[in-house]
Structure 1
Amino acid sequence: MIYKYTHKTIDKTKYSVCLHQCLNYRIYAELWYLSIVSPDGYDVLVLNDYEAVMPIPYQKKLGFKFVIQPIFCQQLGIFYKENISVEIFNLFLSFLTKYKVRSYCFNEENTPYFPSDYLKRDNQVLNLDCDYLTLLNNYNTNKKRVLKNYLLSNIKIEEKYTGSIVTGLLGKNLNRILLASQLNILNTLLQELDRKKVLKQYTLFNKENIPIVYLWLIFSKGRIINLLSVRIKESEIKNSYAYLIDTVIKNYSNQKLIFDFEGSMIVGIANFNKSFGATTNHYVFYRNFKWFDKFKNINII
């Protein structure tokens, strides 16, 4: 039987134990993570006595409560300790269809349960479980060339979380791509990830010791998630971001880790990710409610 709980009535201990035992664990489904990225709240569907769980984040606007995939939260869906039957999966899905769903992303391991005609999104991942030279050999020819040339540049990489991202040059650049509310969510999320010791920030400096690329990675259960990167256009050196990604791959090669690029459906970004030898996985994007889309003045993450 499936039970529905709110973020106030869920048994947080049982949920956490279940999630950490799941075959398809994702840090996005942690309750503390959801509380940050979905401040309006979330419901949770639970199979029997926490054998499987499905978090459903929502927003409330103009009297509506509708499901929407939060920012900085690529994949949710159904999480299970053991593979579940198609019947149980469809039972979870039937509960979701009762909501007004503007966007909801399942995890990659859920994809085989869906018919082939469901809308899917792409995610590039790279298995780091081999030596760096083998990984490098799988880069495309152009990527090898630009990295070889980039090594001649006088640069420095610092691995250190530098705190608040709201102000200064970094805040100025982030304000170009994020709303104030999104920037505050990101700032809070980074602080909490750092507090839980699952965050690493890399900053690349040019020869004048000016930061030109920032990269924030989440380290979670054998997965390195490329949460966010920022390039300072005014001072960036060409191919500096590629060099930083290559450095991370080199540092964590030959380990049982997956580098998760967190995207992308954008051709240029996807090709950049695949130039490192990444393969493409697919996850299902579900929606049943488009009526709000016509209200252009309403901001929906």
Structure 2
Amino acid sequence: MIKRLSYQEIDFEKYNQCVENSFQKNFYCNKETLDFLCKNWELLVYNDYEAVMPIPFVEKAFFKIVIMPLFCQQLGIFGNSNREINQIFLEYFKKHYNILNYAFNFNNEFKTELLTKKNFVIPVQEYAFLRRKKYFKGRKSTVKTAQYLEFKEVFTHEHILDFIKNNFKGLEKQSDQDFFLEYLFFLEKSNKLKMFGSYFENQLTNITILTDDSDSYSLLGLINNEELKNHNGASFLIDRILQQNIESKAFNFMGGSIRGIEVFFKSFGADLQQYQVIQNSKKDIILNCLKIS
């Protein structure tokens, strides 16, 4: 039932057809996205591409280690599957791979209970209803007081890239920061990048970086100038993007496991959307390598 295919063995015409027609489809399962984000990836296939599961990995000391690449939130199983078929994938996956971490998509359900991570999403709806009924009281007030800011779409010009380089937090390695900028250029070339900035007296206070899919925006980065944070540009930007787009595009905050960030996302009326993950320690990996070998 389950076949394990190397990258060279994948029938990408069938793969693309499977994911395009799947209800679990997301941005990350696109071949082009996987090719860019992953050093290596292969595929588990159920029957004749009825369902598929991309597996990103790195090679360490002659072993393949499954690890989610940077900037990739959810993969998992795509196609004509149910809980029973998902369980078959899961059992095969755990038996045949050394898994450091792997994230399934939020539509994947299993008989086995797994760890979960939090994501927050605002579905398509009327903006007036969202702001009136679902915004937290404090967020309404913060957004109202920030209306003097100027809202602009921005692009990958030198001064914008310098702002990102100087203010981006969360990536300690210089190589990761460089890869992030490369990812922006990849998204731009693929017509998947949207960036918006807030300005105070011609000074850039904040930038939102979004991936633009046909039916949703996903938050890739929210960059703040700490010297101008008292202007509440982050709240202003998110609100203005919702005002202009939420009646046609959902908004995916792409995370929320840190308490303060979770509260920020929820304050815009976002709904909790959990997805299941496998996480192991390096010690677990070593023991599993010995078992599989």
TM norm structure 2: 0.89
Q: Distance in 1 between matches of 2:179 and 2:160?
A: 10
Q: Distance in 1 between matches of 2:46 and 2:71?
A: 26
Q: In 2, are the aligned partners of 1:175 and 1:183 still within 8 Å (CA)? A: no
Q: In 2, are the aligned partners of 1:139 and 1:275 still within 8 Å (CA)? A: yes
Q: In 1, are the aligned partners of 2:120 and 2:273 still within 8 Å (CA)? A: yes
Q: What is the match of residue 259 of structure 1?
A: 251
Q: What is the match of residue 65 of structure 1?
A: 64
Q: In 2, are the aligned partners of 1:164 and 1:187 still within 8 Å (CA)? A: no
Q: What is the match of residue 188 of structure 2?
A: 194
Any gaps of 5 or more consecutive residues in structure 2? 287-293
Q: What is the match of residue 78 of structure 1?
A: 77
- 1:98-140 per-residue CA deviation (whole Å, 9 max, x = no partner) reads 2111100000001x3244x4211111111122x2210101101
Q: In 2, are the aligned partners of 1:193 and 1:199 still within 8 Å (CA)? A: yes
Q: Which has the higher helix share?
A: 2
Q: Which amino acid aligns with 2:130?
A: L
Given candidates 276, 280, 292, the residue that maps to 1:284 is 276
Aligned residues: 284
Shift in CA distance, 50/165, structure 1 to aligned 2, threshold 3 Å: farther
Q: Distance in 1 between matches of 2:82 and 2:194?
A: 37
Q: What is the match of residue 165 of structure 2?
A: 171
Q: In 2, are the aligned partners of 1:103 and 1:287 still within 8 Å (CA)? A: yes
- 1:53-100 per-residue CA deviation (whole Å, 9 max, x = no partner) reads 1001012234442111111111010011x3x24332122112211211
Shift in CA distance, 102/166, structure 1 to aligned 2, threshold 3 Å: farther
- 1:243-285 per-residue CA deviation (whole Å, 9 max, x = no partner) reads 1000010001322x32110111111101110001111011011
Shift in CA distance, 293/261, structure 1 to aligned 2, threshold 3 Å: same
Given candidates 104, 107, 120, the residue that maps to 1:106 is 104
Q: What is the match of residue 144 of structure 2?
A: 148
> Which stretches of structure 1, 4 residues or more, deviate above 4 A after TM superposition?
163-167
Shift in CA distance, 32/144, structure 1 to aligned 2, threshold 3 Å: same
Further displaced range: 198-207 or 4-13: 4-13
Q: In 1, are the aligned partners of 2:154 and 2:160 still within 8 Å (CA)? A: no
TM norm structure 1: 0.87
Q: In 1, are the aligned partners of 2:131 and 2:140 still within 8 Å (CA)? A: yes
State how 1:119-158 maps to structure 2 within 5 Å.
119-129=115-125, 131-137=126-132, 138-151=134-147, 153=148, 155-158=149-152
Any gaps of 5 or more consecutive residues in structure 1? 295-301
The percentage of counterpart residues that share the same residue type is 29
Instruction: Report the alpha carbon displacement of residue 291 of structure 1 after superposing the two structures with TM.
Output: 1.5
